[in-house]
A and B are shown apart, each in its own frame.
Chain A
Amino acid sequence: MAADGGTLVARRGKDLLRFLTCGSVDDGKSTLIGRLLYDCSLILDDQLVTLREESRRLGTTGDDIDFSLLLDGLEDERQQKITIDVAYRFFATRERAFAVADTPGHEQYTRNMATGASTCELAIILVDARKGVLPQTKRHAFITALLGIRHLVLAVNKMDLVGFDEHCFEEIATQFAAFAVGLGDLSVRVIPLSARSGDNVTTGSAHMPWYHGPTLLEHLHSIEVTAFGDELPFRFPVQWVNRPNSDFRGFSGTVVSGSVAPGDMVLVGSSGHSARVKEIVSFDGALARAAEGDAVTLTLDSEIDIARGDLLADPRDRPECVDQFAAHIIWLSEQPLVPSRSYLLKIGTRTVPATITALKYRIDVETLAQLADKTLGLNEIGFCNLATATPIAFDPYKANRHTGAFILIDRLTNETAGAGMIAFGLRRAGNIRWQALSVGREQRAVLKGQTPAVLWLTGLSGAGKSTIADLVEKQLLAMGLHTMLLDGDNLRHGLNRDLGFTDADRVENIRRAGEVAKLMTEAGLIVVSSFISPFRAERRMVRELTAPAPFFEIFVDTPLEECIRRDPKGLYAKATAGRIENFTGFDSPYEPPEAPEFRVVTTTAAPEAAAEHIVEGLRRRQII
Chain B
Amino acid sequence: MLHLARKAFFPANPPFPVLHIDTGWKFGEMIAFRDETARRFGLDLLVHTNKNGKARGINPITSGSSLHTAVMKTEALKQALDHYRFDAAFGGARRDEEKSRAKERIFSLRSAEHGWNPKKQRPELWRLYNTRLSLGESMRVFPLSNWTELDVWEYIAVEGIPVVPLYFAKRRPVVKRHDVWIMVDDERLPLKRGERPEMRLIRFRTLGCYPLTGAIESTAATPDDILDELRRSRWSERQGRLIDNDEEAAMERKKREGYF
Chain A interface residues toward B at CB < 8 A:
1-6, 8-9, 12, 44-47, 54, 70-76, 78, 84-90, 99, 111-112, 114-115, 118-119, 240, 242-244, 248, 250, 252, 254, 256, 281-284, 295, 297, 332, 344, 346-347, 401-402, 405-407, 409, 413-416, 419
Contact = CB atoms under 8 A, between A and B. Distances in A.
B132 A414 contact: yes
B79 interface: no
Contact of A414 (B106, B134, B234): B134
Nearest to A411: B132
Nearest to A1: B8
Interface centre among B13, B98, B130, B252 (most CB of A within 10 A): B130
17 contacts: A1-B143, A2-B146, A3-B147, A6-B151, A8-B155, A9-B150, A71-B99, A73-B101, A84-B118, A88-B102, A90-B148, A111-B123, A114-B125, A405-B125, A414-B134, A416-B122, A419-B125
Given A73-B99, A78-B249, A85-B103, A46 B239 contact: yes
A321 B154 CA distance: 41
Contact of A295 (B8, B150, B154, B155): B8
Contacts of B8: 1, 252, 295
Given A114-B123, A297-B11, A419-B123, 11 more contacts: A1-B143, A2-B106, A6-B151, A46-B235, A85-B118, A85-B121, A88-B145, A88-B146, A89-B95, A111-B123, A244-B11
A283 B6 contact: yes
B62 interface: no
Interface in B90-115: 94-96, 98-103, 106
A85 B119 CA distance: 8
A9 B132 contact: no
B5 interface: yes
A111 B121 CA distance: 11
A401 B233 CA distance: 38
Nearest to A118: B125
B41 to A, nearest CB: 12
Contact of A12 (B154, B233, B249): B154
B152 to A, nearest CB: 9
Contacts of A283: 6-7, 10
B125 A407 contact: yes
Contacts, number: 155
Contact of B236 (A47, A74, A115, A413): A47
Nearest to B101: A73
Nearest to B133: A414
B124 interface: yes
Nearest to B3: A283
B90 to A, nearest CB: 10
A361 to B, nearest CB: 22
List 6 A-B pairs, minimum CB-CB distance, nearest first. A73-B99, A5-B146, A244-B12, A414-B132, A283-B7, A5-B147
B84 interface: no
A40 B256 CA distance: 34
Interface in B225-260: 233-236, 239, 248-249, 252-253
B181 to A, nearest CB: 15
A297 to B, nearest CB: 7
Nearest to B95: A88
A54 B248 contact: yes
Where chain B touches its partner, the secondary structure class is loop
B238 to A, nearest CB: 9
A3 B125 CA distance: 16
Contact of B10 (A47, A282, A347, A407): A282
A117 to B, nearest CB: 9
A87 B233 CA distance: 23
B47 interface: no
B239 A71 contact: no
Contacts of A414: 130, 132-134
Contacts of A344: 132
B153 to A, nearest CB: 10
B102 A5 contact: no
B132 A115 contact: no
B220 to A, nearest CB: 17
Contact of B122 (A45, A250, A415): A415
A206 B249 CA distance: 39
B128 interface: yes
B148 A5 contact: yes
A295 B6 CA distance: 12
A5 B10 contact: no
B126 A44 contact: no
Interface in B67-103: 94-96, 98-103
Contacts of A256: 127
